[in-house]
Amino acid sequence: MLNNLSVLKRIKTGMLLLPVAVGVTFAQTPAISPGGTVNGASFASGPVAAGSLVSIFGTQFAAALAAAESVPLSVSLAGTSVTFNNVPAPLDFVSPGQINAQVPFNVLPDGGSGSINVVVTRNGVSSAPDQVVINQFGPGVFAANTHAIAIIATNPSDPRYATLAAPPGSIPGLTTNPAVPGDVLIIYATGLGPVNPPVQSG
């Protein structure tokens, strides 16, 4: 942002007023909306699980969209980082108004439950903390057009194999078929609790 400032320059005959254009950079302070840390699948508020995916909503999180391109996920993306209880969080996506992150598995030393602070930092400038409750479980199911993302995976020879289980035509642009009793479905969710064997965050 350019501000026109005046610089006084002394010369032999007196004072001369010269306009000078000076570039001034203002730090952007990120702000988390109250209760803005929610389940990354259902967007439901309430307790979230360690290791789960969450979405954080607010303002001034980043200058533009940026998405992770590999795993393990980095704890910094486009100059933005997030901590849960002072533990850096792996980031999947950042934008000016939304961050998708993983709650670190080690967010609480004993793996228990409790209220913790979430802080977003952009280029060294940190937000005020947002509080979120950590539970062992905080399930949420990913959905498309209000339908749970469930993949039919019963029999590769079935024409419905690898299609979404939903009424035909209910999700624009995707092939959908109704599930029937006995079908095997792959359902995408987060917040289902501890995993076995344990894995690292990211």
How confident is residue 110, by pLDDT bands cut at 50, 70 and 90?
confident
Residues 63-101: tens digit of each pLDDT = 999 999 999 999 999 999 999 999 999 999 999 999 999
Is residue 147 a part of any domain in this protein? no
HSE, CB side, 13 Å, CA atoms: give it for residue 11: 6
What's the DSSP call for residue 89?
A: -
Is residue 190 a part of any domain in this protein? no
* Domain span holding position 80: 31-135
Is residue 149 a part of any domain in this protein? no
Residues 24-76: tens digit of each pLDDT = 445 689 999 999 999 999 999 999 999 999 999 999 999 999 999 999 999 99
Q: What is the CATH number of the domain that holds 55?
A: 2.60.40.10
Q: Is the pLDDT of residue 13 over 50?
A: no
How confident is residue 18, by pLDDT bands cut at 50, 70 and 90?
low
Is residue 193 a part of any domain in this protein? no
Is residue 164 a part of any domain in this protein? no
Is residue 110 a part of any domain in this protein? yes
Is residue 23 a part of any domain in this protein? no
Residue 124: per-residue pLDDT: 97
| Number of domains forming the structure of the chain | 1
Residues near 61 by Cβ (< 8 Å), separated by ≥ 6? 30, 80, 94, 95, 96, 97, 98, 99, 120, 122
Is residue 109 a part of any domain in this protein? yes
